[in-house]
Structures are given as structure tokens and as C-alpha cells.
Amino acid sequence: MFFKLVSPGGGPADARHDERLIALAAEEGPTAMVWQAQQGLVVPRNYQRYATFGPTNEAFARGGWPVTVRQSGGGIVPQGPGIINFSLAYAVDGKPLDHSDQAYQLICDLISDTLAQAGVACRPQAVEGSFCDGRYNLAVDSDSGPRKIAGTAQLWRRHTLADGSGFRQVVLVHALIIAQADIQTMNDMANRYEAALGSDKRYQLGRLAQVADYGNWPTRTEAGITGWLMETLAVKTATIRPQ
């Protein structure tokens, strides 16, 4: 079955908005969503280990940067204008670990193939010093080394079917794409949050890039670049079956 595109609804959504795709994928087949989230910070569950977690979140919420705890792994990521979220969910047979790399490769291929249409060359690799680093980042080359333009994470769930006939293993693999965003603010907010928690993690601005600074774009407005990427990703994804 091909991926079915699910509408995110109107306006920026909650940062965990795509988790609803898991049940849809189990019951109806492969689903996908291209969407944007409200401004804020998103962290994995292991950040809850810090004693200052609650008070820090309250302070950041008052400053216009609410913190959401997501179910997938990785590290801290900012959300907001000019950032695209791309989510795929589908069921598999067998153990999740046997399919994890394939899920990452699928989402990376869809993004890199879409960006190639605009003359942006990128590849999966770790980018040391970037927030939420991992080997399935997407990076572009620069004079100072690779820079991250997208990061990925995934979540697996054993979903019981609505009719009680059994269960399926479902993967939600999602990516954050820095289309045309304020990378200075993104990096600063991630560092400020880590410092407020008492963490020793710090991220380097020079390890990030926005897609808008690469390739050939007919318009350099946020709406033009972000809108083109969202539309083109959606069209391409609707022609793909999960591996």
C-alpha cells in the first residue's frame, strides 16, 4: 500500500501531534504527515531525570518556549516558524530492531530526493556538536565541515487492533527539517535549556544550517521555500510504499 497523507489541520500543531498516526497505520495502512509545530522545545523522556526539570519548564513556558516531552528518543530540538516536521507511520512483521535502519533510510531518502530537486545535496551522517545528533541526520557540506539540516527519531509501538484480532508492530519515524528558520535562536534556546537544567551539554551554531542557504530557489521567502518543501514532500510520499 502507498502512504496515505493525513491532514495536520489548520495552523501550527502540538509537538506530539503525529503520534496519532500510529493507530491509523495499524488499522488503515501506511500514513504520513507533513506539518509544522508551535514554537517551543521538545525533549525525550530521559530529560525528566533532572531535579530542575519542572521549574525549568515553567520558566521557559513563561518566556514563550513551552517544553513538550516526546515518546521517541534522541535529544532536545526546537520547534517554530520555518521548521518542517515530516512523519511516517507503518506496520511491519517481525522485530522492530530488524526494521529500524530501513525506517531511517526511507525517511532520509524521501527528504534528500526532494531537496535534490532544488539543487540541495545532502547525506545521512552524524554532525558532532549539533543538537539531537545521530547517524541519520541529514547534512550538507560547508567550508567548515558538515552542517545539519535535518534530524530524525523513531518510536515503536505494539498496537492492539480495534477488533481484538491481534496486534501489529508499528513504527513512527519522524524528521525535523530546518527549512528557513532562525538557527541562532534555535541553538541559543537549546543551550539555555541545557544550562538551566544543570546539564553540561552545549551545541555549536556552526554545526547547523538552513535549507534556504543551499540550492536554487525561485523565491527566498519563508512561505515560498517552506511551502514548496512541504508540498513536494507530500506529493512524493504519496507515490511510495514502505520498504
Residue 188 in grid coordinates: 541559543
What is the per-residue pLDDT for 221?
62
> Nine-digit cell at 122?
545532502
Domain that includes residue 83, residue range: 4-237
* Domain assignment present for 150: yes
Count how many Cα atoms sit within 13 Å of the Cα of residue 238 in the half-sphere of its side chain: 12
| Residue 99 within a domain | yes
Give the Cα separation of 194 and 174 in Å (integer).
23
Structural domains of the chain, count: 1
DSSP β-ladder status, 77-79 and 83-92: unpaired
Q: What is the mean pLDDT of each run of 10 residues along the chain (243 residues)?
A: 92 89 93 97 97 98 97 94 97 90 97 96 97 97 96 92 82 97 97 98 98 83 84 96 86
Classify residue 233: in a domain, yes or no.
yes
3-state secondary structure (DSSP) of residue 165? coil
Does residue 243 lie in a domain region? no
Amino acid at the residue 165: S
Position 216 scores a pLDDT of: 85
Domain-located, residue 242: no
List active site positions: 132
What CATH number is associated with residue 44?
3.30.930.10
Which three cell numbers mark 154?
Answer: 523513531
In a domain, 9, yes or no: yes
Q: What does the pLDDT read at residue 219?
A: 66
